[in-house]
Amino acid sequence: MKSSRWSPAWIFATWFGCGWSPFAPGTVGSLGALVVAWPLARAGFTSLWFLILSFALLYPAIRAASVVAAQAGRKDPQFIVIDEVLGQWLTLAGALRFDWRTFAIAFALFRLFDIWKPPPIRLIEQLPGGAGIVLDDMMAGLYAALVLFLAGWFNLY
């Protein structure tokens, strides 16, 4: 199968090139998600909108990740970062308010759960194709969203 780094699937899967970072592409992908989320939050996006956005792009993300992984001949290439984008936005769905602290905590929590991979994330990661690539990060985002929500509930940010 012929691949092109300029095809829509590759552009989307690498989150407009964030995945090509030579250093920590997953972290860069998460930051790329926040670069988009910040002005959306400032414009009035609520937690519910980040939840909707992450689920609205779930199927296209799984499809793009499947196509790109197959074309690259790898199970879960590091340059696919659309999973980090959706996981980061799902984390923001747990926010009770938005300011720089919320974004910093959401970023740290998502990266923690994405790297740590508590159960059942490792099992989800074993799903075939783009489903395994994307859904494990969605689960990490769900864990991070729950912790972010509880931290906000107890006025910790």
The structure's pTM equals 0.96
Beta-carbon contacts of 29 under 8 Å, excluding residues fewer than 6 positions away, are: 15, 18, 19, 81, 82, 83, 84, 85, 88
Under the banding of pLDDT at 50, 70 and 90, the label for residue 3 is low
d(C-alpha 102, C-alpha 15), whole Å: 22
Residue 1 lies in a domain: no
SS3 84: helix
| Token reading at 88 | 């980061």
Domain that holds residue 136: 8-153
Q: Of the ranges 2-11, 21-30, 40-49, 110-119, which one carries the lowest mean pLDDT score?
A: 2-11
Residue 50 lies in a domain: yes
Is it the case that residue 5 has pLDDT exceeding 90?
no
Q: How many CB atoms lie within 10 A of CB 79?
A: 20
Residue 47 lies in a domain: yes
Residue 129 lies in a domain: yes
**Backbone region of residue 74 per phi and psi (left: phi > 0; alpha: psi in -120 to 50; beta: other values):** beta
Q: State how many domains the chain has.
A: 1
Residue 27 lies in a domain: yes
